[in-house]
Amino acid sequence: MALSTKPYKGTRDFYPEDMYVQKWMFENIAKTVEGFGYQPYDGPMLEPFELYAAKSGQEIVEKQLYWFTDRGERKVAIRPEMTPTMARMVAGKVMELPKPVRWYSIPNLWRYERPQRGRLREHWQLNVDVLGGDNLFADAEILKLAHAVIAGFGGEDKIRIAINNRKLINHVFKNLLKLDADAALKASKAVDARDKIGEEAYLKLLAEAGLNSDQTSTMENFFKSDLETVCSDFDCEGARELNELFSVLKDDAISSVLKLEPQIMRGLDYYTGTVFEVYDVSPENNRAMFGGGRYDNLIGLFGNQQLSGVGFGMGDVTLRNFLESHNLLPELKSHLDVFFVTANRDAVIQSEKLASDLRKLGIKCASSLSTAKFNQQLKQANKLNAKIAVIIGESELENQQLTLKDLVKGEQTSIATNQLTSHLKSMLPGSFN
């Protein structure tokens, strides 16, 4: 039986047209985050299993992690997220790194998930993190940056940023609902999964966590609170932090899309303060587009030094869905400046010489690698979106001439071979170095 040409379930092949989109998205992101002073980093795709077991949370470790035992009997995981790698790297040089540490990366990550809209088994994820600095200002910066990344694509009025604080949730679970730590964790997981699993399964999980109907409705009421109510009803650090954050951001462009939503939990266990999710307002993309939060205890896992951080992760799948839903993706095509059409062996050899001179001047050029009929070669040129065909036929070779065909306008001219560069300069002014 012939081998399948399909990629592994939940993964994508990136044919050139997809690579152009990916590259464009990542370049756009890099421009925005580097504008805020963030520096690129990367790490290995494989990490010791324990790195995730320590803090990522049960769902990732038990249900989504790809892992294996290597030939040296080490338990190795393929990274499902970047934050533990980033924390390991920061902890490894924590004394030397200038603070605040502002880092970004766009790694590919693997999670064994049920493939669906916005969720695959392999995705690329922008990670932006700042460690050190004043917590309030760092939280505000990360939120502004999340907003700016989307604004960089022209989509800033098509999102909603839902924000909450883990300390507030902990306070409510403990003091209002009187839940113990185990019940609180289970309830928070149920709330986090609510949209994904539906109302019936959600209520079942709450009951399993030990919540009675009074507690469930008290919690539901709490989820409807706005900032003012939260601040007047709950005397706790979480409410105060939220209040300060809203006040610091009140004159920023983000304020029109930022909203307190007390049901925001975030699935990962390491968040300790501010948490947020960014939603696409288009009903087509109903799951969170991206999210993040503050973690106080990750760096400390690697030694004595504590360094608090805040950041977010944004997947390329949800970003692309967002850009497509709102028509924010430009038409991206490969393009060649010049395509050589060649009649015979000598013409191919001459085209190679001319091409290597042009490349030094920044012109993108290629030849057909054949001596097929001109019509066929011109079709190839059109498929590659070449702007100009340089035709070297037998008569051209004999008379030391070239025929230039403008493939956009359809116009054709004959020129002396040694005039190629000057002609192209007037035809393709923007393409030269």
* Binding pattern for the stretch 125-144 against ligand HAM, x by CB under 6 A and - elsewhere: x-x-x---------------
* Binding pattern for the stretch 87-116 against ligand HAM, x by CB under 6 A and - elsewhere: ------------------------x-x---
Query: Measuring CA to CA, which residue among 102, 111, 159 is closest to residue 268?
Result: 111
Q: Residue 244: which residues within 8 A CB-CB, separation 6 or more?
A: 136
Residue 43 beta carbon to ligand HAM: minimum distance, rounded to whole angstroms: 13
**313 contacts 126 by C-beta, under 8 angstroms:** yes
Specify the residue, 61 or 355, whose C-beta has the smaller distance to ligand HAM. 61
**172 contacts 191 by C-beta, under 8 angstroms:** no
Query: 12, 88, 119, 240: which one contacts ligand HAM (CB under 6 A)?
Result: 119
Specify the residue, 127 or 308, whose C-beta has the smaller distance to ligand HAM. 127
* Binding pattern for the stretch 263-302 against ligand HAM, x by CB under 6 A and - elsewhere: -----x-------------------xxxxxx---------
- Does 12 bind ligand HAM (CB under 6 A)? Our answer is no
- Does 83 bind ligand HAM (CB under 6 A)? Our answer is yes
Residue 32 beta carbon to ligand HAM: minimum distance, rounded to whole angstroms: 16
- Does 237 bind ligand HAM (CB under 6 A)? Our answer is no
* Binding pattern for the stretch 356-385 against ligand HAM, x by CB under 6 A and - elsewhere: ------------------------------
Residue 53 beta carbon to ligand HAM: minimum distance, rounded to whole angstroms: 15
Specify the residue, 59 or 396, whose C-beta has the smaller distance to ligand HAM. 59
Specify the residue, 119 or 423, whose C-beta has the smaller distance to ligand HAM. 119
Residue 212 beta carbon to ligand HAM: minimum distance, rounded to whole angstroms: 30
Residue 324 beta carbon to ligand HAM: minimum distance, rounded to whole angstroms: 15
Helical axes 345-360 vs 420-427, angle rounded to 10°: 60
Q: Which residue bears the tokens 């989109």? A: 21
Specify the residue, 150 or 289, whose C-beta has the smaller distance to ligand HAM. 289
For residue 132, the tally of other CB atoms under 10 A from its CB is 18
Number of residues that bind ligand HAM (CB under 6 A): 24
CA 80 to chain centre: 14
Residue 407 beta carbon to ligand HAM: minimum distance, rounded to whole angstroms: 39
Interface positions, 301-320, toward ligand HAM (CB under 6 A): 311-315, 317-318
Query: Where do contacts with ligand HAM occur on this chain (CB under 6 A)?
Result: 81, 83, 111, 113, 119-120, 123, 125, 127, 129, 268, 288-293, 311-315, 317-318
